[in-house]
Structure 1
Amino acid sequence: MQGKGIIKFFLVVMLLVTAYQYFFIIPTNAVEADAADYAQEESGQTEGEEFRMMRAYYLDSISNQEVFSIPLIKSFTYQDLKAQQLNLGLDLKGGMSVVLQVDLREFLRTLARNTKDPTFDEAINKASQAQSNAQDNYIALFADAWREVRGDKDLASIFSRNDALRDQIPMGTSDAEVIRILRDQADEAVASTYELLKKRIDRLGVVQPNVSLDAERDLILVELPGIENAERARSFLTGAANLEFYDVKRIDQTAINALIEIDQLLERRAKIAAGRDSNYVEAKTYRYDTLYRADDLGNLTTEIDRIDTTEVTNQTAGPLFSIFSPNNGNLGPAVLGVATERNLAAVKDMLEDPEVERLLPRDVIYRWEASPLPIDEQGTLGDLYALYQLDLPRDGVAPLTGEYVTTASAGPQPDGQLAVNLSMNSEGARIWARMTTEAANDQNRQVAIVLDDRVVSAPRVNGPIPGGNTAITGGFNVEEADDLANMLRVGRLPARTEIIQESIVGPSLGAENISRSITALLIGFALVVLFMIFYYGGGGIVSIAALLLNIVFIFGVLASLGTVLTLPGIAGILLTIGMAVDANVIIFERIREELRIGKTVQNAIQDGFSNSYSAIIDANVTTLLIAITLAWFGLGPIKGFAVVLMVGVISSMFTAVLVGRLFIDWWVNKKGDLSFWTAPSKNLFSNINVDWMGKRKISYAISAILVVLSLASIATRGFDLSVDFKGGYSYTVVFDKAVNPQDLRAALATPFGGEPIVKSVSTDNTFNIVTDYLVEETALVDGKEPQEVVLAALHTGVQAATGDSGLTLEQFSDTEAESGTHITSVSKVSPTIADDIMRSALWAGAIGLLLIFLYLLLRFNKPRYSIGAIVALFHDSIIVMGVFSFFWGRLGFNMEVDQAFIAAILTVIGYSINDTVIVFDRIREFLNTYLSRSKTEVINDAISTTVSRTVITSFTTVLVVLVLFLFGGSSIKGFAFALIVGIAVGTYSSIFVATPIVHDLTKEPEVKISEGTPTPAKA
């Protein structure tokens, strides 16, 4: 064997690197043991919710502290130690996962200096509508929309108004060049948003977060293992931290008169729309009753001065005043009026109406207060929010922004109220001093501190504030103040982010998945070990040693790459175990052939290895092509599965082919002999003489029937599409008593406005509930976030189905609960990303097939091989999809078509082509060697000499996947079932579909040589 020294060198290097990677488990376990001791001491428990909370608190508190060091080399924090180890995904650990869409709509508006150009607005709106069912990035969609509506306008006239872009986009710049510049600006904004979010998340205190960027689609994937406060995480991820300081414009009678005119205008329009005379007046009276006392800073207190019954208008309350109460002098000089939380968006829409805006001052903007006002005599917080009128400079930009802030920290004020204390740089200090001086000189006027377009504080200024120091107050608790300080320290996001997919998994479900996955891993590995030793004897022992080394390398490499291991990743490892024996089987079967024709062990080993390389390379390259396709187009767990598959294939080739050869040579040199069979297996699959091609018409008929039946089922029954592909909310709910799914579905129909999908999960009394209720809603619904409304509706329906009126919403939504009826996981997929996932899946399949076709065309240099392989792959894919279409809802496990199913289809394609290439490789070899024989004889012999490898590899792979199906978690049974069906169909198609097509497209050999031509050896 050539190059033994190089192989030994790389083997030693990989062992050392892997050992270094595994070494960090020791200090990490020590820190986590200390955390467990602390939690036990503080909670008095060894498990349970309080124990988990205290343990998490301890680890969060020391996550950035040095806990271990290697002298003279490096010191490590707990975060560093965890980064050296394999990350567990949410389905194995519990936590929260979100996919964020970077909002380039508002980013473009900002670049255009918030132009009111109607053509620009129309293009923006068209691009936003197209984004819900297109895969192109937003800038490309905007470009298409602009070309459609532009008329005689050009983009340069809009974006050249921005001083920062004027040099890049002078007047006369072509639209194509403007779009290119906008794409560059957007790419920079997306990348900057991604980097800033990573810094924010580092301050969130989550151990081993995973943040990745899909720059092609402007998506950011965030996984937060172990996070307990989902609402806090949402605010942390989507808050832009856009801090602005404005002068407050005092309210006068002119402002109130403008509101009255607006209300009357909207009333007239409503009457006309209703088909009534616009002069008709209804007898309505609208009164505002409460007057609040203001403190010295101008802030409203909880004290009520008196009850005021001043009429707003003489007779009428139109659309505006029916939901908005204007200031009649009793709300202080800065507040225009108040509205309830559910009406904030409606009032905003009315004031931004183009016809309405003409009645408002041009030099002001309106911003709602972040917190509600106290509204009753007991001083409790209510549901009324104040609307401030702020002075807008001519350039449309706040006079002072967060970019001047250098430090931010949370701490108490002298009055005990928590605040976020800010320090500014010299330029910020100069601007702040000017603003406060002008406000103090103007009768102690107020200034507004605005965060993400909401007024968090509006103090009255009694004197200039030099030095650039100020504080933000807003009724914060400790966590809110810390989070805001952290966000301001990191800085403002260049573009807003919107959550378009969200998943929350409880730790109990993650623990169950880990337990089941480890069980499946151990059982699958043990079965492969027993079979290989039974079938190959001493050679089987060598293959198991190589397989063990392979698994060690796989976990080490995945840890070093920072890969997140999920359930599909576990499936990838199990599949790798099953497929890792493939190289050994190819080599060992070839060695057995050489031994049967009388060669010595050394010569048989030499020839067995050398004659196997072509088939092994072809088989593994095709699998790699599928894995690369999955990694490129997949999201989240599917990308992780692809990485595991790629690492597994490369590691398997190294350990099975190169390291395995080292082991075998060492054994033979030391012992002088090595067996590659046992007594029971010695003559299995030998002397096979089957007329495979004589049965091809029967196989064509069988395949045609199966394909037609599959297509019929797909056309009539369709698929059980998961939330991944159609959008919606998905909840997994565990009930503490038996529940009839029909009753549950009926009980949920009323609160959801239609029956949801209710499916039983393999675990007792556990159901998956999917609904599209409010999934497309992004605005507040009755003053609440849409997901809160959906959760409340689910809770109402579950109460009705179970008759448990005592089940509180808090108990029901606790994903960490260990008993009682509760949610264990939540997912939300918006229609935008659902369509994106669907298109990605189709592209992944199409490009995977194209890559395989091109590779086979280059490798075999004959189109017939590519055609036979691709037809077989279509055959396999359609039948697997047909099985899923026909049997969903008829078997006792989840058969959703989701991202994992797409991964299974592509894996089946990879496995099937792997099997097919082995047969093709032998056909090519025999056609070039036995020119005196007919093509039918040659192809039959090629199949006969490879059938042992086909059966053994299929058997070992199915053995492992069957264990995954029987012992894996419920969420992976569909994936495993697809693989089992696919392996069976793929094995069949390699012999009875792909090979017959090659046979029928191959001409008979034209060259005849003597009858003494040797016949091929048969296994």
Structure 2
Amino acid sequence: MQGKGVIKFFAIILALACIYQLSFTWVAHKVENDAHIYAKGDTAVEKAYLDSISTQPVYPVLGHTYQYCLENELALGLDLKGGMNVTMQISLEEVVRALSNKNPDPVFNQALVNATAAMKTSQTDYVTLFVKEYEKLAPNGKLAAIFSTKDNQANLKYNASNSEVEKYLKSESETAVQQSYTVLNTRIDQFGVTQPNISREKATNRILIELPGVKDPARVRKLLSGTAKLEFYETFQSQEVYPLLSSIDNLLAAKNKANAKDTAKAVTATDTTKKDGLALLNKVQKNAKDTSASALRSKMASDHPLFSMLVPPVYADANGQQQLAPGAIAGLAEQKDISKINDLLNSPEVKNIIPRNMKLLWGVKPREKSKTFELYAIKLTGAENGPVLAGDVINDARSVTDQRGNPEVEMTMNSTGAQKWRVITAEAAATTPKKSIAIVLDDNVYSAPTVQNEISGGISSISGSFTVDDTKDLANVLKAGRLDAPARIIGEDVVGPSLGAQSIQDSLLSCLLGFIVVLVFMIAYYNRAGTIAVIAVIINVFFLMGVLTSLHAVLTVPGVAGIVLTLGMAVDANVLIYERVREELALGKSLRLAVSDGFKHALSSILDSNISTFLTGLILFIFGSGPIQGFATTLMIGIVTSLFCSLLISRLMFEWLLDKGGDIKFSNPWSSHTFKNANYAFVKNRSKFYIFSGLFIAAGFVSMFTQGFNYGVDFQGGRSYVVHFENKNVTDEDVRGAVEDVLGRGTQVKTYGTDKFSITTNYLIEENTTATDTKVEQTLIEALNKKAVTQMSKKDILSSQKVQATVADGLKKSAVWTVLFAILIIAAYILLRFRKWHFSVAAMIATAHDALMVLSFFSIFRNVIPFLEIDQAFIAAVLTVIGYSINDTVVVFDRIREHLHLHHSKADKPEEVINTAINSTLSRTIITALTVLFVLIILFIFGGDVIRGFSFALLIGIIFGTYSSICVATPVIVDFGKKDLR
């Protein structure tokens, strides 16, 4: 074996890298365990403890902070950790309506209604549908007459063609979606969850949000669905705010003292603080930075509860004394202290001394260098104590560069806004020092530029220490005032922490039992060589977890299924090698030569089969979302690490044992002759296989057209709840009888474990508001309690899912195209590798056969087996079956190619040669299939209710895939290539 040193070096480096990556998970879990012990079950205390040490070093060797460890630990998906997954859709109907200044034209408004209705069953973008509907209703109508208003003449001329208007509307719609993305990205920070994720769905007006660990779905719905509100406010200067903050600091310090007399003294001491405020400030900051003793820090927090966390902005004068810096910033604080400061400022006694015309708001982003957040004192004006200007006066905003090449924002207002802006800026520029105007969206300050001069004409430049991304975000925020683009929840998936904990337990159990099954089977069948395969599988899983963590991939329940499946499929390469070695030993070769030739001759089959499966995973990753991407990621990484471990690590272990003179056996007495002289007439009996498959698929088609499928909520739309029942005697009929009268006759009830039921309904699904979500949930609870099925409350709803019909329709179409695309890609790869179209056609027929067999099974037995459900996980299972089947088929094809090359004379009949090739790989085919099936049975029994349907689809799919590799794919080659195979 060449390059042993390089392989050893690379394996050691990879192992060390994996240990390093996984260590963050170990450290983070240790800190969280310490917090749990410290809090003694009090979640508020536990959270406060973790917040307090978020920026403290907790990694003993490298000194990484807890926050850094959290960001680099193995991320768990919502189905394992609990939390909420939300799909938001931007209402482009209202965007288009706003761009027309709410034009009352009846044809225009009817076209909007028609386009909205068409969106429910179409994947075409909204603007295209709207333009088509308008031109259908008014063939000679001019859209420019509706959209070319006084405020946007610079972007759209009055004589513009309909296609130009369409282009303009698409550009503005894209801006509206990006603006909403920016707003939502800011809002999710308010939930305080670890590793939130927000992303845009490609080429749609949808935004996907994941909030792991969130425990209040109602609050999430309310905050995410709120309309963005852009406003401009005057600000107080830091010199005006500091005396108030000093008073608050003294008041809170007095509160910490035991008697009311001390409190009264502290409150009356406010005037002395004003006079000697900066001396106190120097003392507070000096002591706050001294971290040499925890006792000192504790005393500072008691004596100065506010100033120990909130530092007023200062600069050093010529004498080295700190002075208050002019400007709108009232104070600076670290992120870990913000929630504590908010609690202090919102306490009743503090709110009583804050002036009514003042509101304290935080900046939206931390400072670049110090990572501290700025606190602003906003001035409320007028009789209504509101802003000086609303955001609806903005015509446009864009990111530009000034004469020096620095990024800035150019903001344009309409005529009404320009007049008001001139007066506001004139007053702000006339003061000493000059005042700032805060740009506020959703009570977050995005910028507070100082007004240098009176601004007339309605065009303003906003500059500062901006990056290009900062100016793009600010431009999008400013446009939020003009474009009315409400974001509505069209899909959500809520998983309670108890269900997540159960999923983790089930996943660990299935992984452990799956590993034990593989270990026992491989050693029992392959003797000492089986032990080497098991060691390689252990190393493979270790590498897989390390790589997953380093890539910040999210581990989901389907991802765990991918790991369990990897345990079964990882031995496939070892089986191929071992079967080849056994053949070489049977030819009388020495052990060392047999091992060398076994690895060499098995290489082609191993690479072809794994590349085809990898392609399946790649297609799943590209076209899937959420948990499906997690499964695909695990599958692809598992294939790569399996190849490394099977081909290289296993070989190193064999070489080491051979060098030591070890006696390596590749079978036990009972398994040494298994399938050795197999001679089954697969090709001769192919017509029987064709008839069986044809009849089964025909019955499946009849069933599909007559009774259809049990569609999951993500493929049919609706709401689905997993409900826990304390009363274990409750049956699905009891639950169905309780909810059908209220939620409708179409409500589906299915068992979900021993004490849980899945309830799916279309009740009020068209009413897409947060109030409706709460109403449906409450109606469900009341229905179950009224019928005395059980006494339950909101906490008994372990998870919920909502999908609008538009999303469901898109998922169906996407699923069909994904499966077809996978079949074509794999067929193309087979054609490229084997250079004969017969192999490619046979592979395509076999993969289509497998998909149809699984679909037929799920339709025929839909009313017999309750968990046979068509959803996204099912599509992942079908594609995995296709990948496995091709893996299996390629191995057989590779042996057929080898036999046809050896037996190419006219005397050798292709049918006999192919049949011999099938029988020669039968041992490998059956052993691999059994290994995978054993693991899938474990996954099905112990993997939990969440993936029961998924694992069952894999189970029957692997059976059909193994059957098609032997009985369908190869006979098809015979029938298509009788004249061309020699």
Q: Give TM-score, length-normalised by structure 1.
A: 0.72
From 810, 832, 835, the equivalent of 1:861 is 835
What SS does structure 2 have at the residue aligned with 1:212?
strand
SS of 2:709's equivalent in the other structure is coil
Change in 2 beyond 3 A, CA 1:795/1:638: same
Taking a change above 3 Å as real, the CA distance of residues 65 and 931 of structure 1, as seen in their structure-2 partners, is same
Letter in 1 for 2:616: I
* Aligned partner (choices 955, 961, 984) of residue 959 of structure 2: 984
Q: Which residue is 2:937 aligned to?
A: 962
Q: Please tell me the residue identity of whatever aligns with 2:831.
A: L
1:567, CA displacement in angstroms? 1.3
**One of 351, 357, 360 as aligned partner of 1:421:** 360
Could you tell me which amino acid in structure 2 is paired with residue 202 of structure 1? D
Q: Deviations over 1:744-784 (max 9, x none)?
A: 323223332545211122223x21111111111135xxxx8
Alignment map for 1:814-833 (pairs within 5 Å): 814=795, 822-833=796-807
Residue number in structure 2 paired with 1:363: none
- Between the aligned partners of 1:730 and 1:33, the Cα distance in structure 2 is 34
CA distance in 2, matches of 1:108, 1:13: 56
Match of 2:823 among 825, 836, 849: 849
More moved, 603-612 vs 119-128: 119-128
Q: How far apart, CA to CA, are the structure 1 residues paired with 2:884 and 2:581?
A: 23
Do structure 1's residue 973 and structure 2's residue 948 form an aligned pair? Answer: yes
What is the rounded CA distance, in whole Å, between the counterparts of 1:913 and 1:859 in structure 2? Answer: 13
Distance 1:451 1:643 in 2: 47
- Corresponding residue of 1:921: 894
Corresponding letter in the other structure for 2:196: P
What is the rounded CA distance, in whole Å, between the counterparts of 2:808 and 2:216 in structure 1? 26
Deviations along 1:930-970, one digit per CA (max 9) or x if unpaired, are 11211011101110111111001100000100000111111
Q: Relative to structure 1, is the Cα distance of residues 110 and 549 closer, same or farther in structure 2, using a 3 angstrom cutoff?
A: farther
**2:722·2:798 contact (CA, 8 Å) conserved in 1?**
yes
Cα 1:30–1:760 change in 2 (3 A) is closer
Deviation at 1:626, TM superposition (A): 1.5
**Tell me, what secondary structure is at the counterpart of 2:494?**
strand
| Residue identity opposite 2:360 in structure 1 | N
In the TM superposition, residue 668 of structure 1 has moved relative to its aligned partner by 2.1
* 1:619–1:918 Cα contact (<8 Å) kept: yes
Name which of 588, 611, 623 aligns with 2:613. Answer: 623
Q: Does 1:212 align with 2:151?
A: no
Which residue is equivalent to 1:791? 777
Distance in 1, Cα, partners of 2:764 & 2:226: 22
Aligned equivalent of 2:735, options 739, 744, 765: 744
Deviations 1:862-902 (A, max 9, x none): 222122222222222222122222223323x5222111111
Counting only pairs closer than 5 Å after superposition, residues 513-532 of structure 1 correspond to structure 2 as 513-532=503-522
Partner of 1:677: 667
Q: How does 1:455-854 map to 2 (within 5 A)?
A: 484-485=443-444, 492=477, 494=480, 495-671=485-661, 673-737=663-727, 738-754=729-745, 756-764=747-755, 766-778=756-768, 785-802=771-788, 812-814=793-795, 822-854=796-828
Is this contact kept in 2: 1:407–1:423, CA < 8 A?
no
Within the candidate set 963, 971, 974, 1:996 is matched to 971
The residue number in structure 1 matching 2:230 is 243
**Match for 2:95 among 100, 107, 113?**
107
Q: Which of 217, 225, 239 pairs up with 1:230?
A: 217
> Given the superposition, is the C-alpha separation of residues 496 and 63 from structure 1 closer, same or farther in structure 2, using an over 3 Å criterion?
farther
| Alpha-carbon shift at residue 535 of structure 1 (Å) | 1.8
Tell me, in whole angstroms, the C-alpha distance in 1 between the residues paired with 2:151 and 2:441: 35
1:660, 1:970 → 2: CA distance? Answer: 36
Structure 1 residues 120 and 620: CA distance shift in structure 2, 3 A: farther
CA shift, 1:416, in A, is: 6.8
- Partner of 1:687, secondary structure, is coil
Matches within 5 A, 1:55-74: 55-59=46-50, 61-62=51-52, 64-68=54-58
Letter in 1 for 2:222: S
How many Å separate the matches in 1 of 2:516 and 2:596?
29
Judging changes above 3 Å, is the alpha-carbon distance between structure 1 residues 735 and 615 closer, same or farther for their aligned structure 2 residues?
same
Amino acid paired to 1:225: P
Tell me how far apart the structure 2 counterparts of residues 482 and 448 of structure 1 sit (CA, whole Å): 12
Q: For the structure 1 residues 26 and 736, does the alpha-carbon distance in structure 2 shift closer, same or farther, using more than 3 Å as the test?
A: closer
Percent identity (aligned):
40
Distance in 2 (CA, whole Å) between partners of 1:207 and 1:937 is 62
Aligned-partner SS, 1:763: coil
Give the SS at the match of 1:770: strand
More moved, 492-501 vs 730-739: 492-501
Unaligned runs of 5+ in 1: 46-50, 248-403, 426-431, 454-460, 473-480, 815-821, 1008-1019
How far apart are residue 77 of structure 1 and its match? Answer: 4.1
Unaligned runs of 5+ in 2: 235-327, 333-337, 365-377, 393-423, 449-472
Residue-by-residue CA offset, 1:526-562 (whole Å, 9 max, x unaligned): 1101111222223222222221111111111111222
Q: CA deviation at 1:585?
A: 1.1
String of CA shifts for 1:711-760, please: whole Å, max 9, x gaps.
22222222111111111111111122222433332322333254521112
User: For 2:773, what is the secondary structure of its paired residue?
Assistant: helix
Measure the CA separation in 1 of the matches of 2:363 and 2:630.
Answer: 43
Q: Which residue of 1 aligns with 2:13?
A: 13
Secondary structure of 2:869's match?
Answer: coil
Q: Deviations over 1:619-676 (max 9, x none)?
A: 1122122212211221211121111111111221122123322332233233365332
What is the 5 A alignment of 1:145-544? 145-149=133-137, 151-155=139-143, 160-161=148-149, 166=154, 169-170=156-157, 175-176=162-163, 178-180=165-167, 182-187=169-174, 189-191=176-178, 193-244=180-231, 411-412=345-346, 413-414=351-352, 420-421=359-360, 484-485=443-444, 492=477, 494=480, 495-544=485-534
Is 1:31 matched up with 2:31? Answer: yes
Q: Give the Å deviation of 1:121.
A: 3.6
* Structural RMSD (CA): 3.5
Which letter maps to 1:844? T
SS at match of 2:685: helix
Offset at residue 793 of structure 1 (A)? 1.3
The more displaced of 191-200 and 916-925 is 191-200
Distance apart, 1:992 and its partner CA: 1.0
Distance 1:666 1:424 in 2: 62
Q: Verify the 8 A CA contact 1:407 1:422 in the aligned structure 2.
A: no
Judged with a 3 Å threshold, the aligned counterparts in structure 2 of structure 1 residues 554 and 25 are, in CA distance, closer, same or farther, namely same
Q: Summarize the alignment of residues 39-58 of structure 1 with structure 2, pairs less than 5 Å apart.
A: 39-40=39-40, 45=41, 51-58=42-49
Amino acid at match of 1:714: M
Amino acid at match of 1:994: A
Residues of 2 paired with 1:654 and 1:198: CA distance? 40
| Structure 1 residue 518 displacement after superposition | 0.6
Aligned pair count reads 790
Contact 1:86 1:565 in 2 (8 A): yes
Cα distance change, pair 658–139 in 1 and its aligned pair in 2 (3 A): farther
Taking the aligned partners of 1:161 and 1:414, their CA distance within structure 2 comes to 48
SS in 1 for 2:589: coil
Cα distance in 2 between the residues matched to 1:445 and 1:603 = 91
Residue type at the aligned position of 2:816: L
Instruction: Select between 590-599 and 956-965 the one with higher mean Cα deviation.
Output: 590-599
Trace 1:132-151 onto structure 2 (pairs within 5 A).
132-149=120-137, 151=139
Contact residue 931 and residue 1005 of structure 1 kept, 8 A: no
Contact 1:93–1:511 (CA under 8 A) maintained in structure 2: yes
